[in-house]
Amino acid sequence: MTMEQRILIDLSDIVGIEYACSRCSGRYLIPIDKLDAVIAQCPNCRQGLVSEAHITSGKRSDADALYELRTALMDTQGRNIGIRLQLSNSVFDGLASRAKI
């Protein structure tokens, strides 16, 4: 017998966006419906979190992509769309290792 484990989430399960600073490990969780402005720099150490410009002209900036992600999530959460998002297996591995602690 072969078993397969998958983690699927409904769009309505996504309620926030977390910024994670690579320098100081600070984390900032913002509810999607409260995301009015992108946090471009870490409030603690001033490390850049989200680029407001893209190196390659013609592509969206990280900030623009983040706004579009927020808009898409807010727009789809109120609808009865029969889809779920699958998370990578590394998420399951992380949950399993936490359960052993």
Give residues in contact with Zn ion (CB under 5 A).
21, 23-24, 26, 42, 44-45, 47
Question: Would you say 45 or 96 has its CB closer to Zn ion?
Answer: 45
Give the residue from 51, 49, 48, 71 showing the smallest Cα distance to 59.
51
Q: How far is the CB of 26 from Zn ion (least distance, A)?
A: 4
CA 72 to chain centre: 13
Least distance to Zn ion from the beta carbon of 78, Å? 34
Please report how close the Cβ of residue 62 comes to Zn ion at its closest, in angstroms: 16
Q: Nearest CA to 92 among 5, 4, 2, 29? A: 5
Residue 93 CA to residue 78 CA, distance in Å, equals 31
- For Zn ion, the closer CB: 45 or 72: 45
